[in-house]
């Protein structure tokens, strides 16, 4: 039976770690600090409209490179509240902008410039710990520091992120600044039930729970709820999730590993990192911080020793 996502007011970081992060419990946190006037389609357009963006489909497949202006012109509505909008067409393929900060040394339409232009319009969520982070190395403020998969998300109504789990044992956070999203979550222990075989990566091989076009769900989630402006959703390591945009949406997402939730990262390094493309991203982030280039097994051993 699906339970509602818990919703709480902004807690102290110690409480967040103890009650939610360490036990890997999803939660929606209210009370983000941000400038609502800046986080509108026109506010974002004024600051970053001319910049090139990466436009994705529902399963992290890159579809296009276009300016933000072009995406907003093609896909964003002129307005309308959630209650007055027509029903969603579950069969429509609506792309979305996922503007990552740099993840590797390749030329791409990275989002670092766009994120920098918005940096004075929001603050790091007060509940998240700044110390005890294993990843990113040497950082802690998502407003100014590079995190793996930190991205500015610009998603038109009807866009989706299909069922997946986040890579190399990371926790995920999405700070919602405009629009509404619906998130459905499945416990990590259900991965084999929902896996279809073939692609074994974090971003592929799982059941498309909304794929039959009916608007229903092919598998009942463990948790479900909406994320609204001023909310943060915390999606713990290993939890599978599918997200549907109900109202044109602006948000920022990022991943991290805290020492209280590091077991999954160590397990990944011991059993799944060799040959995984996501390992190369982890290596790149460590290199940027001046860390030695270790094999996955050597890094796992180092982390085990540090965390004892």
Where does the pLDDT of residue 203 fall: very low under 50, low under 70, confident under 90, or very high at 90 and above?
low
| DSSP codes joined into one string, 220-273 | --SEEEEE-TTEEEEE-TT-EEEEEEEEEEEEEEEEEEEGGG-HHHHHHHHHT-
pLDDT tens-digit readout, 102-111 = 999 999 999 9
Residue 280 lies in a domain: no
Domain count for the chain: 1
Per-residue confidence at 300, pLDDT binned at 50, 70, 90? very high
In the block, residue with structure tokens 């067409």: 89
Residue 55 placed within a domain: yes
Instruction: Give 19-67 pLDDT, tens digit per residue.
Output: 999 999 999 999 999 999 999 999 999 999 999 999 999 888 899 999 9
Look at residue 184 and tell me if it is in a domain: yes
Average pLDDT, the chain: 92
Residue 283 lies in a domain: no
First to last CA, the chain: 38
Confidence band, pLDDT 50/70/90 cuts, at residue 205: confident
- The whole-number average pLDDT for the span 110-138 is 96
Query: What pLDDT was estimated at residue 59?
Result: 83
Query: Measured between alpha carbons, how far is 179 from 196 in angstroms, rounded to an integer?
Result: 32
The strand pair at 7-9 and 27-30 is best described as parallel
Domain that holds residue 166: 3-261
Is 266 within the bounds of a domain?
Answer: no
Q: Which residue has the higher pLDDT, 144 or 80?
A: 144
Residue 271 lies in a domain: no
CATH code, 223: 2.60.120.650
Question: Does residue 194 belong to any structural domain of this protein?
Answer: yes
Residue 287 placed within a domain: no
The per-residue pLDDT for range 171-183, each reduced to its tens digit, is 999 999 999 999 9
Report which secondary-structure segment, H or E, holds 280: helix 277-288
Percent of the chain with pLDDT strictly greater than 90: 82
pLDDT score recorded for residue 204 = 67
Tokens encoding 200: 């074994």
- Contact 180/28 with Cβ under 8 angstroms? no
């Amino acid at each position: 039976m699906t339970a509602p996502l818990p919703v709480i007011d902004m807690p102290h970081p110690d409480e967040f770690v103890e009650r939610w992060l360490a036990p890997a419990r999803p939660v929606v946190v209210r009370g983000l600090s941000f400038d609502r006037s800046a986080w509108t389609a026109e506010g974002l357009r004024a600051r970053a409209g001319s910049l090139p963006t990466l436009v994705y489909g529902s399963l992290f497949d890159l579809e296009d490179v276009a300016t933000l202006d072009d995406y907003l012109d093609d896909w964003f509505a002129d307005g309308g509240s959630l209650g007055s909008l027509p029903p969603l067409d579950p069969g429509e393929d609506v792309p979305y902008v996922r503007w990552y900060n740099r993840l590797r040394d390749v030329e791409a339409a990275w989002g670092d410039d766009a994120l920098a232009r918005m940096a004075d319009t929001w603050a790091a969520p007060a509940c998240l710990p700044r110390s005890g982070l294993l990843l990113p190395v040497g950082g802690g403020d998502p407003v100014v520091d590079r995190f793996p998969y930190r991205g500015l998300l610009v998603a038109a109504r009807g866009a989706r992120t299909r069922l997946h789990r986040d890579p190399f044992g990371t926790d995920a956070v999405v700070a919602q600044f405009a629009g509404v999203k619906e998130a459905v979550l499945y416990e990590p222990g259900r991965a084999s039930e929902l896996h279809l075989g073939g692609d074994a990566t974090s971003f592929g091989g799982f059941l498309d729970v909304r794929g039959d076009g009916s608007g229903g769900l092919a598998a009942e989630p463990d948790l479900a709820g909406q994320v609204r402006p001023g909310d943060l959703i915390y999606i713990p390591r290993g939890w599978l999730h599918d997200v549907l945009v109900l109202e044109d949406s602006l948000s920022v997402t990022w991943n991290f590993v805290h020492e209280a939730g590091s077991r999954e990262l160590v397990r990944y390094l011991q059993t799944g990192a060799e040959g995984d493309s996501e390992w190369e991203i982890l290596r790149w982030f460590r290199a940027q911080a001046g860390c030695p280039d270790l094999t996955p097994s050597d890094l796992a051993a180092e982390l085990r020793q540090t965390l004892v």
